[in-house]
Amino acid sequence: MIQNFSKYDIGEKGISEIREGILKVVRASSAEESKDDFIQKLEKWKTLLVANDPPLIGIEKVDIEFIRSVWTVFQSHSVNLK
């Protein structure tokens, strides 16, 4: 699916790294790091990747507001994640 949108095959290692990143968000949402700190890091990450040369196809589609919403859901259920 990622290849369909980005035209880039990230392979099994890339898929594994995405999964680990998702798990980190789930864990971080129930940890000490605040949502605002996390979102700031995410915005910096996106800014750096958008400025890549050659550009990374599709990175501009990262929707930080959506991620903020997902974080809120994870945080509201963090008791179940520990």
pLDDT of the residue at 71: 76
| Pair 59, 46: CB distance under 8 Å | yes
pLDDT at 81 over 70: no
How far are the Cα atoms of 24, 28, 78 from residue 65, in angstroms, in the given order? 18, 17, 20
How far are the Cα atoms of 19, 21, 39, 79 from residue 16, in angstroms, in the given order? 5, 9, 22, 25
pLDDT of the residue at 37: 80
pLDDT at 12 over 70: yes
pLDDT of the residue at 31: 64
pLDDT at 80 over 60: no
pLDDT in tens, 20-68: 887 777 777 666 667 778 788 888 888 888 888 877 777 777 888 888 8
Q: Give the C-alpha separation, 36 to 66, whole Å.
A: 14
pLDDT of the residue at 30: 63
pTM summary value: 0.49
Q: Give the C-alpha separation, 37 to 49, whole Å.
A: 19
Domain boundaries, the chain: 34-82
